[in-house]
Amino acid sequence: MISSNVNLTELEILALDSDLNVADGHARQELSAGQQRIIDELSTLFQKAALQPIADLERTAHRTFFALLGQHRYPVGANPVLSCYASSVAMEILARSLATKTDAVALVHPTFDNIPDILRGVGLRLVPVEEDPLHLGPAAEAVPEGVGCVFVTTPNNPTGRVLSAERLAEIAEVCRERDVVLTLDTSFRGFDTRAHYDHYAVLEASGCRWAVIEDTGKLWATLDLKVGLLAYSGNIGLPIPKIYSDILLGVSPFILTLVERFAEDAANGGLEDLHAFIAEGRRIVRETLADVPGVSFPDPDSRVSVERVDLGALRCDDIWDELHKRQVYALPCTQFHWAEPSRGDRSLRIALARPHASVRAAAQELRAVLLAAG
């Protein structure tokens, strides 16, 4: 039995020491040859980071990372992009800032549970917005009455669904009319070229108040040396820099240098290789489970580094103990459905940013458990 009051991260912690850890969405695949060359030079990088002015390092890291994502324009000057030790730290800073001016946030449903937990943790009331009305039909449906902010994870975690530039513009227009802050968490955008358009240009063109959380942490297996970035509009009207300064002075220049080098490697072909690597992991999962009665894959178009598996008639709970006996750790989708947990009871999320041998072994164990239980 999975305890009903445990969050997804607590389940991810249980998995950390297993070879069949397909739970967390952090990057744990092998380094490519190009990435290994960067790691071989770490002591030189450390020395460079110690010598260079931090503002220069930060500017270069931001520029290189954003260019990789097709994010050509970003705030500099009066409201510069803020570097954090993780996207969840950026999230906490944003949530605390929002709570000074509003009491309710509309949030995409489903999504990773630490987003609703952080928002609720600062006292905000949440209104769910389902993915269909978010993406299709009148954009006003994506902005419920009475909220001070709309929060969208794009590509979404775990579904991989991407907000198009056209849809972003429509929602931003409604937000501007109603003076609602539009916030995006784009932590998984590196995996999906359909999200490599200039989001900030679209948001700025609308004139709405906006914030975006970016993440380097899902892409490269840098042992969790990563940054989360918090970008926001000059007109946001929230005490973001002040609250940032309550929590951080800045991030390590060594990490900024590492991000810059990994982003540069990615721009030189590494990102395409990573996309092919994730696609192959997804193919392995789908192929291994293809003959299991009732199993389906609800996100056929997803390109993010996680894959949902629908178990048909079975519930996660039915197979949990047996999966644990075999040291297989995936996530139940229950807690992603933060407003209606039962809707996630019959699907699992499998992390794909792992060596293919681990993905294959975990999928084979899952297949055996499902066949025995079904």
SS3 362: helix
Query: Considering the complex, what minimum distance in angstroms separates the CB of residue 268 from ligand EGV?
Result: 27
Q: Closest separation between CB of residue 66 and ligand EGV, Å? A: 21
Residues in the chain: 374
- For the bound state, the minimum distance from the C-beta of residue 54 to ligand EGV, rounded and expressed in Å, comes to 25
Residue 25 or 281: the one with the smaller Cβ distance to ligand EGV is 25
Q: Give the Cα separation of 166 and 329 in Å (integer).
A: 38
Instruction: List Cβ neighbours of 307 (8 Å cut-off, separation of 6 or more).
Output: 281, 282, 285, 286, 297, 299, 349, 350, 352
Least distance (Å) from ligand EGV to the CB of residue 157?
5
List binders of ligand EGV among 21-50 (CB under 6 A): 24-25
Given 71, 88, 154, 288, the residue binding ligand EGV (CB under 6 A): 88
Q: From the CB of 48, what's the least distance to ligand EGV, in Å?
A: 28
Cβ-in-10-Å burial (0-12, 13-18, 19+) of 227 comes to: buried
What CA–CA distance (Å, rounded) separates 314 from 61? 46
Q: Smaller CB distance to ligand EGV: residue 121 or 293? A: 121
The one-letter amino acid at 256: L
Work out how close the CB of 131 gets to ligand EGV at its nearest, in angstroms, rounded to a whole number: 17
Q: H or E element: which one contains 138?
A: none
The answer to whether 204 touches 171, Cβ cutoff 8 Å, is: no
Phi-psi label, residue 213: left if phi above 0, alpha if psi -120 to 50, beta otherwise: beta
Position closest to ligand EGV via CB: 25
Q: Which of 63, 148, 171 is nearest to 98 (CA)?
A: 148
Choosing from 2, 6, 9, 178, the residue that interacts with ligand EGV (CB under 6 A) is 9
Q: Based on the shown chain and the rule CB under 6 A, indicate whether residue 157 belongs to the binding site for ligand EGV.
A: yes
Using the rule CB under 6 A, which residue among 114, 233, 288, 358 binds ligand EGV?
A: 114
Nearer to ligand EGV, 224 or 301 (CB): 224
Q: Exposed, middle or buried, 372 (CB in 10 Å: 0-12/13-18/19+)?
A: exposed
Residue with Cβ nearer ligand EGV (225 or 368): 225
Distance in Å, CB of 2 to ligand EGV, minimum: 16
190/215 Cα distance (integer angstroms)? 9
AA identity, residue 130? E
Size of the site for ligand EGV (CB under 6 A): 8
Dihedral of CA 331/154/114/35: which sign?
positive
Pairing of strands 104-109, 306-310: unpaired
Distance separating alpha carbons of residues 91 and 114, to the nearest angstrom: 9
Judged by beta carbon, residue 9 or residue 52, the one nearer ligand EGV is: 9
Query: In this complex, which beta carbon is closest to ligand EGV, that of residue 95 or of residue 147?
Result: 95
Between 88 and 216, CB nearer to ligand EGV: 88
Q: How near is the Cβ of 166 to ligand EGV at its closest, in Å?
A: 27
CB nearer to ligand EGV: give 236 or 363. 363
Name the minimum Å distance from CB 332 to ligand EGV.
Answer: 13
Beta-bridged to residue 260, according to DSSP, are none
Nearer to ligand EGV, 12 or 131 (CB): 12
Laid out side by side, the sheet with 104-109 consists of 82-84, 228-232, 210-215, 181-185, 149-153, 104-109, 125-130
Interface pick for ligand EGV out of 112, 200, 210, 220 (rule CB under 6 A): 112
Footprint on this chain of ligand EGV (rule: CB under 6 A): 9, 12, 24-25, 88, 112, 114, 157
